[in-house]
Structures are given as structure tokens and as C-alpha cells.
Chains A and B, each alone.
Chain A
Amino acid sequence: MKGERLKVKGILILFFLSIFIFQFSICSAARPDSLRLDSAQQALLDSLERMFTIQEVVVTAEEKIERSSASVINKEAMQHIQPSSFTDILQTLPGGTTKDPNLTNANTIRLREATNGSTSGEYDASSLGTSFVIDGAPVSTDANMQYVQSDVSGADAKRNSVGAGVDMRTISTDDIEKVEIIRGIAGAEYGDVTSGVVKIERTSKPTPWRARFKADGFSKLLFFGKGLGWNNENTVLNFGLDYLNAKADPTNTLENYQRITGSVRLQQKWEVGNLRIRWQSHLDYTGSIDNEKIDPDIHRNREDSYSSEYHKLSWNNTLRLRQADAHWWCFCVQANVSGEMDRIRQTRFVQLTTPKNPAIDNMQEGEATVRLLPYKYVANHEVEGLPLNVFVRPKAEFFFDTWKLEHQVSAGVEWRYTKNFGRGQIYDLSRPLNYSSTLRPRAYYDIPASNQLAWYIQDDISFPIHEHFGLDLNIGLRGTSLLGLGSQYAIDGKCYLDPRANIGLNFPFSKGKFYVAAAIGQHTKMPTLLQLSPNLLYMDMQATDIPIAPTDTTMQIYTHIVNPTNYELQPARNLKWEVRAGFDINKHKLSITYFEEDMRNAFRGLMQVEAFNYTIADNAYDRLLTYSTTSNGSRIYKQGVEWQYQSPRIPAICTRFTLNGAWLRTVYSNSERMYSTEKSPGVVNGINVQDHYIGLYNWTEGYIRESLNSNLVADVYIQRIGLTVSATLETTVYTASKTLEKNGRPEAYISSKDGQLHPYDIAAEQDPILRTLIFDYNSGLFIRRTVPFEGYLNLRVQKSITKYATIALYVNRLLDILPDYQVSGANGSLVTIHRTASPYFGMEINLSI
């Protein structure tokens, strides 16, 4: 196996080396020819022109030279990456690493986070708080409730992105003209965001017919598109159609992901008197289907299947008015309506693993008679979600000078409406997917809509103080409120203010400029519909024994209903600051950023405990009930240094060098005390401990992740033969992780007898039952573990074959540098860790007619 892999790698290396050598020879041979043929002046002009044109092609992300850190990825760079979905683009960010497309799992975004090791759903606020803005309209996922509620570990678990923001698989890249990823402090016009903003601008200009066909080991992608222009390009119509089919495993056609996106975009410009009017109207459809089935040829479980459909129709309108002859003001209204039809269908053949079990279908508080489940049945579960999102934002911009200051003031008001009209979890309670679950269905249309009203005002001030010294300042304030929730919610009607400021100093001189900048800003993300209005919880207790006689098929249960709504829930708020410095001299661009972000009240499910007394057949019982509510109990603290250097394209070798990287350190932890039964025993001396005593721990639970990445990209662009080759040396200098120290001694404990918290004292420590609430953790658990250097060479090649066609190919991990390393073994010995990696290929053809 290994030998074969090496052979494949060897052949590939030879292949690419020969391409390199061939192209270099053409490149260098071309020069003296042109000198001989033309006059010296002409030659100078030619080479200047060539220099100019080859400079323009940038196939890596560019760091924005502005006050706040942002990466800009243009169309050429995207074509060079050869993406299947938006996820693939993120590898160009500082600290980004190349990941093979994984299109049968939800892909959520993690900006500025050390991503070694997975993070749990308790820290989803990070991706939830990253706003995707497509052609000016934010994508809302607040009404996304597409999950199979009783099946947390099945096919659905890896695919649902409820409460975790945008699933980037659904965003196709072919119609995108430019992406700007604001990692730092976004302007005040961007709201409902904590982590960052992904601004996507799509093509809106006449283009030839374009077609793209991409294939790699796991997926195929097909795209057609065209841009038409009439009336001196005052009317532009773009349309595109894209189809993606991906499999989890190339040999398994039964687990796959399919996506279709279609887009029609119209732009119309008028000039009426002194007014210039631009109207953009975009109609977009995205459909995707996740499928997972069992091979019907296999006798067992052939009924089992899972499919998740997503259909979204979005209509985005922007109307912009501005003066034709002067530039004093500009007025713009944006309105976006998007509706989704989402449906999960899951079927499973269920057979009882234990002799008998009741079907829990009582919807009322108190005692009820329930029937026993049959020994085997086929369970059908459906989840219907029909989210509707409306976004309306009128905004105005004014341009004026005061004294020496140039102002660009903009202000706007926005309204976001989110509602889900779906029927929710639909299934027969007497034939559940998971019969031990006591969850009950509910219709999503019963959940109140969320109305978010926000306003913002910001001023961009330029202050050219001196010929060699200028100051740029952006200050903004944004207010966000959730309206109409009801006065029981603490969040209702309250205005949350996000002040944000960026300041930059420029030192321009003839060949470029130096700059230093600093920014600070507060960011707020409102809770989602599900976080605001969780489903009622049903606590079911056995009231009578399960009957043994086959003829007797009913039993009694006692149901207690709990409303887990956290009326005190606050929005998640992230305070970010950063300082930056850099230069842009003779097209040498350098930027270094240090940042910190502290989100202390991110959303997490936190265990709640309450004592409950009930009576069954004149016997009084007391017990503790535990359930989870959405709280503000997570903390995500990010810090890091990001850098990017980009050289000009060096004419002699037609090559540009880009060096980017990041040191990232992320601390994920809880920020509130918590109840825990993590190491509680079940039954001690006949007493069910967790039903009667639960400890409250004032501990820090969580982990630290750290990484140092550096990527060196050398890209060769030879215009005359239409070749672009980039080699990326992607290195991770180290990654480290550490579990935070935990104090397992409870601060207090709650007892089912009185429902009160009691201090955990010496007496409790000596009590045979209560002493089990002390959880022991070995200090060795909290050791920082590092993984040393790893490096890969990735290659991307694009070649124009004719005027109309370009072929492209990429290989991830063509070469790998994975030195063995040692970790501590038993009794002070050392264990050698041997790492391996395998390459990943993809290729595509682009036609442009």
C-alpha cells in the first residue's frame, strides 16, 4: 500500500516538474525574442505592459489594507482553488489549512479559531455568530430547526446545523465575483454577528457563456452561466445553474449529497433628471438533498433510510439612488425575502432490545394509561420546516467635508423577521424512532416569530493631515432589539448597543505607504427561535409495573411537563479588539495583526435541576428532575497573530510569493457554575443517587486549543501560454491542546427532599452517599499536549488550452513531511508516533464561449 502511494507520488512529482521546466523554458526564451524583434522602446513598453497585466492576476487571498482585518478573495483566486463549495475557500485565510471536501457532513465556519481537535456544540455560538451577507442581504438561519429530535446519534447528527449558523455546503461558488471575509471589527452596518462577516458579491456584468465541470474522488460538479447586457449595459442579466453530486465514499452510492443552485440576476440602471437609479433584483434557488440508505441487497435493516431535503428560494432587491452630477448623498433600500421548504424523512426498522416497553404518548400532566409497544415495527419520522425570513433595510449615505475632514456618514434602519411555518416533528408517538426517548412532537408554526429591529450610524472620516501623514477613522454605533417576545423575556424590547471604532494612521510616500491601525468593537448575536422557545419537556415516570401477561398491553405512567424556556436569556456578545501594522511598497504588501476576542456569554445548554414531589397510588415520592436549558454559560476567548506578506510578481520567473500564517489560541470554557452528574454513581446502597442528590460545581470546564500555521505560496502566471501554477508549502509548526483544570469538589448540593441547595461541608464529605459527589481528576489529565511539525506540498495547475477552454488540476498533500515524534509512555518510557497522509486529487475543465 505504502509503496504504491510513494510510486503514485513519484510519478506526479515528475509530471509536475516536467511541466514546470517546460514552462520556464518558454518563459525565459520569450524574452530575448521580443527584444530582437522590436525597438528598445517598444520592448520597454511591452515588458511594462506584461508586468502590469501579470500583476493583476492574484490567485491567493489578499489582505485588505484598511483599518480592520479582512481577506479578499477574487474570482481568479477562486477559480484557482477549484472549490466544490464555499468551505474550500477558507483555506486561503491566514492560519487556514487545506481540507478535503467533506460534503456528507454539515460544514460550519470557524473564524480565527485553532481548529485542531473538534469542539462540542456548546461552542456553536462561534459559527452561529458569523454572518454570511450575499449581495448585501444577510443569510438567516435563526429559524432552522431541521433535526431529528429523538435521534441524536443517527444519520442526522452529522448533518444538522441547528444553532450553528450557515451550512457552507449550500453555497456554490461559481457565480461569486468576490468574497470579503471580515475577521476583525466589522462596520456598524453589519449586525446580528459576533465572530465575523463573510461578504459575498456575485457577478453582475455581461460575460460569455461559461461552463465548468469538476471531478474529484468524491464529487462531481457541473456549472453553466452567462451574463447578458443590453442598452449600453444599462440592463444586465446574469444567470447560472450549478449541480453538485458528492458521495461519502466513492464505492457507496447510497450515502450522498446533491445540490442544485440556480440564480437569475437582473440589474437595471436609469438616469432620471439629476438622479442615477440602480435596481438589482436577484432570484435564487438552492436545493440540496442528503441521502443515506441501506443496500437493499443486504437482507438486514433494508427499511432504514434517511433523507434531508433543503429548498430555498430567495428574492433580493436593491434600489439605489444617487446624484448624477455631484456626490453628496446616496440612498439605498434593500429588501430580501427568502422561504425554505426543508424536510427530513427517516425510516427505521425498530425491534425492542428488551422484552417490553411502553409507547410514551401522553401529552397531559399527571397519570395516564399508555399502551405497550409491539416487538417490532417500522418507524417513520418526518421533520418539516418552512422558514421565512424577511430583511428590509433603508439606508442613506452622505458625503461632506468639515474643516479638513472628509466625512462619509451612513445611517440605516433594518428589520429582520424570522418565522418557521413548518409542521415540525411529525411522527406517530406509538411508533417512535427511538422508543426510550420521551420527547414529544410540536409544530414549528406555533413558535412565535422573531422580530429584530436595528439601527446604525457610522462615520468614515479621512483626515489628510499632512503630505506624509493621514488619519482614517471609522466610528459607528449600532442598536439591536428583539420586539414582541412578551414581557416575561428579559431580552424583550431591550436595545443592545454595539459601539465600534477603527482608527488608522497612514504614512504615504512616493512608492507606497506604511500604516498602523487599531480597532475595537462590541458585537451582538440574538438567540435563535429554538433557543428562545424550546419545546416543552415531558418527564415520564413509571406508575405501575409493566404487565407480564401477553394479553395485558397497557400500563400507567405519570407525566410531568417542564417548560425549559430561559426567560433570562441574553444575546451572545463578543468584544473584539486588534492592532495592525503593515506596508504596501512597490507592490510588496505586508500586514500583521494581533487580536483578542472575548465572548463571555455564548449560548450553551446548561443542566437545570428541580425537586419534584408526586403521588402515585397514595405513595408520595420525591426526586430531582434534570433538564437542559439554553443559557449564556459558554465563554469563547480567542487570541492570535495573523500575518500576510505578498510579493509583486517577479518578472524573471513570472512568480509571486505569498507567505501567510497565524498563531491562534482559543479557550473554550463555561462561564457559569454548573450542576453535574459526570461521575456520579447510579445506585449506592439501593439509593438512586442522581435522583436525590446532585452537586453544584464552581469549576472551569473546557479546553484550550493552539496552533501555529504558516503557508508559503509560489504562484507562476505566464499569460502568453495561459498557465497558472501554484505550489503551496503548508506547514503547521505545532498544535497544542490542553484540558482546563477542574475542581471536582462541589460547592453545594441540591437534595430532592427540599429542593434546596446545601453547602457541601465536612459532614457531606463523610456521608456515604454524598461523598460520591466529589469527582476526582488526575492532574495528568490537564497536561498540555503538543503535536509537532507537519508539512504538506499542495499543487494547483490551470492551463488554457484554447481561447475557450481551461483545464485545471489540484493535488492536496502531493508531498508530506510528517516526522515521527515521541510522547510519554508507561513508566517513563517513550512511545513513537508515526503519522501518515494520503494525497487528494481533483480536476476540472472550464469552457468560456
Chain B
Amino acid sequence: MSILPYIGIAVTLIIVILLARPMGSYIARAFDYTPGRLDRWFGPLEKGIYRVGGVRQENQTWKQYAAAVLISNTVLLLVVYMIFRLQDKLPLNPAGIGAMSPDLAFNTAVSFMTNTNLQHYSGESGLSLFSQMTAIVFMMFVSPATGIAVAIAFIRGLAGKPLGNFFVDLTRAVTRILLPLACVAAIILIGLGVPQTLQTGVTAQTLQGAQQQIATGPMGTFLAIKELGNNGGGFMGANSAHPFENPGGISNMLQIMLMMLVPVSLPFTYGKMVGNNKQGRVLFVSMMMMFIVILSVSLVSEHQGNPLIQQAGIQQGTGSMEGKEVRIGVEQSSFYSVVTTASETGAVNTMHDTLTPIAGMVAIGNMMLNTVFGGSGVGVLNVLMYAIIAVFLSGLMVGRTPEFLGRKIEGREMKLIAVTLLIQPLLILAPTAIALMAYPDTISNPGYHGLTQVLYEFTSSAANNGSGFEGLGDNTIFWNVSTGVVMFIARYFSMITLLAVAGSLLMKKPVPETSGTLRTDQPLFGLVFVVAVVIVGALTFFPALVLGPIAEQLTL
């Protein structure tokens, strides 16, 4: 066992931790409506966009904001659905790829609009160059921008300010955060070996004298926004395990940093926007500690490898290598699998179906929690929801009306949050049960692992993650429609309920802080927050995990 890959992991995490705070305050400034220095840079371009778009820069109520989110996303969903259905007739289709079936086009359109990027097709054979460069890349910018906008509106509500304007926030998320960073990241990634060409393939005459068709494409620009926007959908079927989509150790590290950047920064954005940096730091530290514990479990499991391979007399000095790439190695693959599920990105550099059972369970567990750190924007929304739950639980224990940031948390808010909490297990467990009964033939791996495959697919859909246990035969009408519906409800239900919570808090009179107020910027609150996440989030799914990955591990 070499210590070097672990140093690589530590260095990556330290860089991410150092970037989180400055990036968090940058995001806060980017969405500040009072004129500032950033307006000089981005103002002219944005004014042009508002003029062409007909956007009036006025504050919206929570209902108007939610309506703008829903309507805009639905309109775009219909447009990209049409592109997928008509891609055989549209230009830029050198490989002659056919139209998508209605159910697959529905699934793919919902998947990319909801920032999930679950893929029931393979990039090389399922999408034309036009679809990749327009529908997919456009969704990869707009869907994380939508998530960030809603999170910012929610935080404004907590801070007692008007929620803002959705179209202004969406534009700013693109012009001030996603687009500039994607440009820089794309150029670095291309320098590291990611192709960037409008040719979709080359033919090579191999050393053994055979013909090898090599698929290429404009992958550098695609990859940058795929990771930065917590999208995760691969240009190629094998995603970031493909040597073009992840040529080496540095590109792997860079992708991990891009996936974590926005989610780890948003707690600091929250702190800054509510005028108390400590509020954000408490949440960040609590989550980072949970992350490191989760990562360690995965690393230990992967390093031990597969006992069945050991029995065949093969030495597994390097750990479990099935489904992994040599240049990346076991440790960096395990790290990537934890980061991609923690940040709800869904990009993979190793096939998650082949992970050792406990590492697979860690991946599912991350998506079930959906808070450490969660996706672009929606992550911090969930985190703040758990923070309110933690405040509520503490309030119950001491017998006072709970307060959060100087506003009383009462029946209406808690009802909305309770429904939001309950919808997630319903969206995961109910369809899992149906699929296990009705479609066991789509499962590719026998035994306990088969149950995990189905559970993983719906968990990934409900968390808007998008990775999969890809052995599952999921391009069927049942899987396309059921996961499409789950992705849609999971994405927009919590956005609407939480915007309603923000709208409701905004109406309340602030109460002065007294000596009896629970301080939410202290380490003790961090502990209560962690306990709330573990009890409410993890225990819900424990029985399902026992039947799947834990049973598989025990019987290996």
C-alpha cells in the first residue's frame, strides 16, 4: 500500500477547503442587487440580456418566483424533447444517428433539465453532435443556474430581504459564475488531453492490422460544465472512466475540485448573506467532518478488494480493479465515487455497479442524505432545511417556540418541511418495490446486488444525481417513464415548498435575540445538525440498505 494516493486526496481536499470561503463570498457579491464593482464587469452584457429577454428587474413574491422557475423549466424541457425527437432530421449529424424514442426522449429531457443527467442512452450512439452541443450543453448551464437561483432566493428570504427576480438570478448565475469558470476549466482540461474537435470520429489502422473507429467530439467544453454545474452526464457512455473524458491523475483531481466547488462554497454564501459568517462556517465544518468519515469507509472497503478474486489466487495489491482504470487507481476512483454522489453530480470514473458492496452503499447513502454537500444550489437548500429541523427539535426539547435567524418557526413552516422530507423516501422506496415485483428481468446482477441496482436507480433519480448501477437494463418504457417522473417531482416539489417557507418567514416580525435563544452559529448547533441529518436522513433507509449492500458484503 502506497501512501502517495492518500496524500493526493488530502491535497485536493485542502485546496477545496481553502477555495470555499472566497468563492462563497464571491457568489454572495454576484447576487447582491446593490450596485457594486462586479456590475462594471458584467453589467453591460447583462443589461443586453435583460433587454433582449424582456426581463424587468423587479422583486418577485415567492409565488411569482416559483412560477417563473416552473414555467421556464417546462418550456425548455419541451424544446429539448423536440430536439431529441427530431435529431435525425436536424443538422450536424455526421454519424447518422436516429431519433430518440418518445419515452427515452422524455427521460433524457427531464434528466438534463432537473440537473440529474441520468442517461439511459450511450453518448457515442444515442445523440447527434447537434443534440450534444445544443440541447445537452444548454441544459448543463441552465439547470445548475436554476438551482443556484432558487437557493439564493431562499437565503434572501431567511435574511429578511425580498426574494429577488428569477430571470435576473438565472442570468447572473450563468454570466458571473458558470460561464467564466467553465471557459478556464475547459482550456485546462483540453491541455491535459481531452479532445475538442467538431469531428465525431477518426479511423485508425491498429498495430495488429485491424481498423479501430475512435469516437471524438467537442468534449473539453462539455466536460467543464458537466463537472462545474454538478450535471454529470458523460459525452461518452463510460463517462469520466473514458480516457478521453479523464486522461490522467491531474484531470481527475481537477474534476473532483470542480464538482465540489459550488456546493462547498454556498454555506459561506449563506453566512455572508445573513450577515454572520459563523452561521455558514458551522454548517460547512459539520458537513466536511461527515464527508471525511464517509470517504474513509469507502476507501477502506475498496482497498480490501473482492474476496472472490483473492480465492482465485490473484494478488490484489492494488485493491478492487474491476471496472476501474489503471492510470487513476483504486484510491482516486473511490474518492471520485464519494465526491460525485456527495455533490449530486453523477459523473463516474469507475463503474459503480462494480464497487465493493460497502463502497456502493456509501454512494447510495450520500444520495439518500442529499445534504453532504448536495448539488448546485439545491444542496444548500436541503442543508438549511435540516438546520431548521435541528432548531425545531432543540426547541421541542427545551419547550420554547423555536427561532431561526430571529424568526419564529411555527406550524406552517414545519408542515411544509415535513412534507418535503416525507416525499423523498416515498419517491425512492415505492417505485423500488414496484420495479422489484414487476420488472425483475431488467436486473443484471443476481442476488442481493440486484435489489441494490433497483434501489440505486431510484435513489439517484430522487436525489437528481444521475449516476447508476449501469448493468440495469434501463432503456425500457417502464424505467424511462418512472425515473422521469421521480426526477421531476423530486426536483420541483422541494423547490416550491422551500420557497413557500421563505415566503412565510419573510412575513413574520423579527423577534429579538435573548439569552434563551438557541445560537445557530456555535459548534454545539453543528452537532445537533449532524444528529438531525443522521437520525432523520439515514435511519429512514437503513432497512433497505441491510437487504441490499450489507447482505451482499456478508455473503461474499
Same complex for A and B? Answer no
